[in-house]
Each structure stands twice: as C-alpha cells, then as structure tokens.
A and B are shown apart, each in its own frame.
Chain A
Amino acid sequence: MTRVRTLLIVAGVAGLVHAVLGLLTDPDIRLAGVLIFLAVVLVAHDALWMPALLAVTTLVARMRNRKTPESTPGPGNG
C-alpha cells in the first residue's frame, strides 16, 4: 500500500466518523428518515432500476442483432 493510498483511507475514515457523529448529534436530523431513504434509494437502484435497465438494453440489443445477424457476437444479459 502506497503512502497516498494510506492517506486517502485515513482521510476517508475521518470523513465517515465526522458524518456519523453529525448525523447522531444534529438536532435537525431525523435519523430514521435518513436511514430509510438511504436504504430505499440503494435497494430501488440495485433491485429495480438496474434490472429494468438491463432488461431494456438487452432487448434492444437482441432486436438490433436480429436485423443485422452478421454483426458482433450476440450480447447476453446486460
């Protein structure tokens, strides 16, 4: 591990610690709401948005491939 990488990791951990302390102590923070929103955007992205995007792009690629069968090897899932 280089010095720069170590420094980046140490600074990153410091940022995370600062964020967590802030989230726990700022009276304007509704922690439950923030945690729910973090989880919802993550799960919505990974389990809904990305599979839907891959399904659409795969379909489009298959349709295009059917039109020009001699083109590049058939793409699979996303």
Chain B
Amino acid sequence: MVRHPDAAMKARLRRYWLAPLPAPPERYRRGPWRPGFFRSGRRSTALTARLGLWLGLAFGICFLTGLLSHVIQHPPGWFWWPSRPVRLYQVTQGLHVITGLASAPLLVAKLWSVYPRLFAWPPARTVAHAAERGAVALLVAASLFQVVSGILNIFQKYGLMPFFFTAAHYWIGWLLIGAMLIHVGTRPRRTEGLSKDRRRLLLGVGAAAGLITLFTAGQTVRPLAPVALLAPRRPGDGPQGLPVNKTAAAAGVLPLIDDPAYRIILAGPGGELSLDLAALNALPQHAAILPIACVEGWSSTATWSGVRLRDLVAMAGADPDRAVAEVESVQAGGRYRTSVVAPEHVRDPLTLIALRLRGEVLHADHGYPARLIAPNRPGVLQTKWVGRITVREET
C-alpha cells in the first residue's frame, strides 16, 4: 500500500519531534539537579495553576492597555480615538501601571513555584520537550524584562536600560504574549485541590499585590494619594502643584521662551500669522479642568486656561470641525517635540493652547509661554513650549 506522501512526512516529523534525546551522564547530576533537592511541601501544580491564572490575567490587561497606549501615540489609519470621556486614557494607562506593579509579587511567587523544574533531569527528554523549555525560558525572560523595565521607567532610571524603553517594551510585550499563549496551550492539566498551607501562601501573595497597589495607586487615584508611599510621583508634586517629567532646562528651551521675540506661528489655508504673548492674551480666554495623564501612569488634574485650539484653527482659515493641527514645540529636538491633534480633539472646546495653570502664568516646566492641553490624551502628546501650529483641513 502506498501511503500519502503528506502523511508519511507528518509521521517522520512526529517521530523526530518525539524521539528520546540521550541523557547526560548521571555523574553530572549534582546540586539542585539531585532528586529530592527541593523539599518545600508548599509547591503544587494546583498552586502554580492559580498563580498562573492571576498572572495571565494581569499580563493580559497590561498587554491590552499597553497596546492601546501605543496606537494612541502611533495611530494607524483605521484607528479612531475620542476626546471624551476626558479621563479615559488616565484610567487605561493608570490601570496598566497599577496592574503591572501588582503582577510583580505574582511573578515572583509563580517562578518560585516552578523553580525546581528548571533542574529537570534529563534537561531535555525529546526535541518537543526542548522546544517547550525554550518557549518557557523566553516567557520567563520576557516577563522579567517587562516588569523590570516598566519599573525602571516609572522611576526614571532610563540610564540603566541599554535600549530605548518604549520600543523595546512594546516588542517584548508581543514576545511575552506570544510565549504566554504557547505556554497556556501546552500547560499540564491541573490535578489536585489546594491544601490549607497553600491557600495561606496564595493569600500572602495576594496581600503583597494588594499592598503594592495601595501604596502606588495614589499616583493616579486621588483619594489614595496620601498613602502613595511607593509611587514615584504624587499628584501634588512639582511646580504649581503638578508633576513634571521634562523640565524646561532639560529640554534646552530656557533662552527661547524668555526671548521677547517669542511668537507662535499659526499656519493654515488662510496663510501665516505670527502671535506674540500679548496677542494670545487678547483672544477670548477659556478654562478647562483636565488631567495631565502621563504614559508613566501618574496623573494630576488642574484648571487650565487659554485660547481654544478651535478658535486658532478658525483664525488660520480652516473649518474647526474637520481640521488636523500639528503642534510643534520650540524645542530643537526630542521625540515629543511635535504632536498631531486629530479632528476629534481639535473640535473639542476643551482643547486649549493654555497660558495659565490654576490662574497663574504657566511655570517654565509646564510649558510657558503656551502649551497644548487636550482631553483624553497621553501627557507626552500635550506639547509644551508651543512655537508653531500648522493647520490642515481634512478632505
């Protein structure tokens, strides 16, 4: 009988995939590789499965909220992001960082619960087993990478990371989710229930996650601000009671913003206008209560006042209901010197070129003489030290 070549190929692959690999000589089986080396009775597949489920959910939330933050900052053609609710991004990115921080003790406990399996003997039984272990190694490395890089980022230890955080954290996020799905697809089935001892351990891990949340969530959940002991920023920190990530000095704009020749160039279909601070102050002023919602998970709300962006767009000769505005800083370089304001946000009467914060002239670190503030956008897109606004009408 002639077998179908496809079937024969499959059988060959299967044999190769599951063929036993030679075990290393027994004399190398030392230290943690010895049978019975790990003796804590608290580990069990049931415990590991519970921790895995929690951690999987936490990482799932991080991945989705992170992906959202990414597409808001780099919108593909199909993407649409509203200007309301005003606090939506504050909530999703706050959740990202809160969940990420709470996942740290879950990750520690999960890895503790499976640590003896790192010393499985023989190290690889079959090619399939080796591949599975490789995927697990990738999963563990990616998980640690995300949590460690995330924490270093929010504590602004950028120098400890030999890469550009946002891009690396984004792609390793995909690596983590891919390896995690493979792991969920190949995980062993749960067999036993939870003993009292293990339940207590789970409770301890849950309590650790809860405490971390309690002591950090105040960076964006205002009522918890007084106990935000572990949070890198609190809503009231900084000049004029608002935190700052990039100071005017760090951005190198100090000489430019204090220059009497400072102007905003407003360019649009109707030509180009040059507005000095007096001209901006002479335009109708409006106030808006809006948060600065940082990508790093903190947020702080204040009353901003200044000129509506839609009024400026109209002055530039475009229809404020269907215009795109590119807002540029006087900053010479930097990733965040320009941001594109989509029609939803241009249209919104809460979107301001702000001149004041809580009734005072903006502090240099908050963008003096003028900054963009719009509802429901990441802080990095709220351009400070505005020097040019280019308006296009959407076709």
A residues near B, CB below 8 A?
Answer: 4-9, 11-20, 22-23, 26, 28-30, 32-34, 36-39, 41-42, 45-46, 50, 53-54, 57, 72-73, 75-78
Contacts and interface: CB of A to CB of B under 8 A. Distances in A.
Given A14-B178, A15-B178, A22 B137 contact: no
Nearest to A49: B108
B174 A37 contact: no
Given A19-B178, A41-B141, 16 more contacts: A7-B185, A8-B185, A11-B178, A12-B178, A15-B174, A15-B179, A17-B178, A19-B171, A34-B163, A37-B163, A38-B172, A46-B115, A53-B112, A75-B40, A76-B38, A78-B40
Nearest to A7: B185
B30 interface: no
A42 B148 CA distance: 11
B249 interface: no
Nearest to B63: A15
- A-B pairs, top 7 by smallest CB distance, nearest first, are A15-B178, A76-B39, A12-B181, A8-B185, A33-B162, A12-B182, A16-B178
Given A16-B179, A36-B162, A9 B172 contact: no
A5 to B, nearest CB: 4
Nearest to B170: A22
B275 interface: no
B383 interface: no
Interface of B: 32, 36-41, 108, 111-112, 115, 118, 135, 137-138, 140-142, 144-145, 148-149, 161-164, 166-168, 170-172, 174-175, 177-186
Given A12-B185, A19-B172, A42 B140 contact: yes
Nearest to A32: B162
Contacts of B172: 19, 34, 38
Contact of B171 (A12, A14, A26, A73): A26
A40 to B, nearest CB: 9
Contacts, number: 132
B174 A50 contact: no
Nearest to A30: B163
A73 B184 CA distance: 34
A36 to B, nearest CB: 6
Contact of A22 (B37, B38, B171, B182): B171
Chain A: interface secondary structure? helix
Contacts of A17: 178
Contacts of A9: 181-182, 185-186
A38 B144 CA distance: 8
A50 B141 contact: no
13 contacts: A6-B185, A12-B180, A15-B177, A15-B181, A16-B175, A19-B175, A30-B168, A32-B162, A33-B168, A41-B145, A42-B137, A76-B39, A78-B38
Contacts of A36: 162
Given A36-B162, A37-B161, A8 B39 contact: no
B251 to A, nearest CB: 20
B194 to A, nearest CB: 17
B149 A37 contact: yes
A5 B185 contact: yes
Given A28-B164, A33-B162, A38 B145 contact: yes
Contacts of A53: 108, 112
Given A13-B178, A33-B161, A45 B144 contact: yes
Nearest to B142: A38
Nearest to B140: A42
Nearest to B166: A28
Contacts of B183: 12
**Which of B36, B118, B181 neighbours the largest number of chain A CB atoms within 10 Å of its CB?**
B181
B146 to A, nearest CB: 10
